[in-house]
Structure 1
Amino acid sequence: MEKKHAQVLLVSLCVVALVAAVLFSGEIRMAEAVTCDVSELSPCMEAIMSPKPPSKTCCSKLKEQKPCFCQYLKNPTIKMFVDTPKAKGIASSCGVEYPRC
């Protein structure tokens, strides 16, 4: 049972990261380098897993990781979490345009 809980938590974390990645993949920041790391989107997990709105930290991380979204969408494991209506809604709530890759 503990193993299943850990697996669900890991999948949930991936989902949050993927959602953020999809939302911000359309832009590339030239002025500053961004390290594409889906785990940076973990602050969005609560918004993904509950009806709560995204936190300020979640929105900040989505904006930060936006240049990575298309890369995240190319990964089938991540895509299944970030290419969802819930993820798109979180991005919209944060004022982040969903990318078209």
Structure 2
Amino acid sequence: MDSTTAGAAHGYTQDKDAYLKRLRRIEGQVRGLARMVEGDEYCIDILTQVSAATKALQSLSLGLLEQHLHHCVADAISAGGSEADLKVKEASEAIARLVRS
């Protein structure tokens, strides 16, 4: 967390419980992957589960990004000034990271 977001309400706050539930589900998927590797499961079965966990993380990321755009970026643009430019730049960089991953 940087100094511009310390103590601020975040766009995902209202859905925090749902995000935590999804993260716990993803955590379980990853633990399951470890068990599959430990158990010498078939490669394709493991890759199928890796794909499912990856899609779950991507979905979570897109939800967070959407809420960031609607809340943090929109609020900063409404306020104007350098904060608006900073939030747009942050969002653009986050999108670029997601596209590369």
TM-score with structure 2 setting the length: 0.29
Larger radius of gyration: 2
TM-score with structure 1 setting the length: 0.29
Greater RCO, 1 or 2 (C-alpha within 8 Å, sep 6+): 1
